[in-house]
């Protein structure tokens, strides 16, 4: 669990770094992409630790809850825009699924430009059913951090 906690801390630090650089346009894209990449590294660590089977039952329960969180998995798909590597699931579906903090599911074109999505703290996308959806990285990343904290600190290990 120590390695997972180290990756949790690294993700949280990247989110804080993003929040502190959001006014600095020159660093904004790098900081936002780094925060999403930190979430990816955390998810990979959790998958590895779950596969190795060395976690206690409470730790296993917490890690499974984080790994199965739809909101976090949506952000993991979303980050592939920055890496220019689409997931197999997105290729099959033809879109990425992103859950908003409210729980609303938004479909996103995986071919979006990383510059258009990550260069500003807010970006807007046309949505067939609802007009235009506005996305705020501060809200998306802060919600991810809060959900992970809830799983980690809300459970007894």
Q: How far apart are CA 47 and CA 33, in angstroms?
A: 21
Tell me how far apart the alpha carbons of residues 85 and 74 are, in angstroms, rounded to a whole number: 15
Provide Rg for the chain, Cα atoms.
16
pLDDT of residue 59: 93
pLDDT number for residue 23:
56
CA 75, 78, 82 angle in degrees (round to 5)? 125
| Domain segments of the chain as ranges | 2-153
Q: Please report the pLDDT score of residue 84 as a whole number.
A: 61
pLDDT at site 157: 46
Closest by CA position to 7, among listed 30, 34, 39, 31: 39
Tally of CB atoms within 10 A around 124: 12
Which residues, other chains included, contact 110 with Cβ-Cβ below 8 Å and sequence gap of 6+?
Answer: 80, 81, 86, 90, 91, 94, 95, 96
> For residue 131, what are the β-bridge partners?
127
Instruction: Answer yes or no: are the C-beta atoms of 97 and 105 closer than 8 Å.
Output: yes
pLDDT in tens, the chain (157 residues): 788 999 999 999 999 998 887 656 667 788 888 999 999 999 999 999 999 999 999 999 999 999 999 999 999 988 887 776 665 565 566 778 889 899 888 888 777 777 778 888 888 887 777 778 888 999 999 999 999 999 998 765 4
**Model pTM?**
0.86
């Amino acid at each position: 669990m120590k390695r997972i906690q180290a990756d949790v801390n690294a993700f949280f630090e990247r989110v804080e770094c993003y929040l502190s650089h959001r006014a600095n346009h020159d660093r904004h894209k790098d900081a936002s992409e780094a925060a999403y990449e930190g979430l990816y590294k955390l998810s990979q660590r959790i998958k590895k630790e779950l596969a190795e089977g060395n976690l206690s039952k409470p730790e296993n329960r917490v890690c499974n809850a984080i790994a199965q969180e739809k909101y976090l998995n949506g952000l993991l798909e979303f980050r592939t825009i920055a890496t220019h590597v689409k997931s197999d699931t997105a290729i099959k579906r033809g879109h990425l699924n992103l859950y908003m903090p409210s729980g609303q599911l938004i479909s996103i074109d995986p071919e979006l430009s990383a510059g258009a999505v990550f260069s500003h703290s807010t970006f807007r996308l046309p949505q067939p059913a609802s007009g235009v959806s506005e996305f705020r990285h501060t809200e998306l990343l802060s919600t991810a951090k809060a959900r992970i904290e809830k799983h980690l600190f809300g459970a007894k290990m």
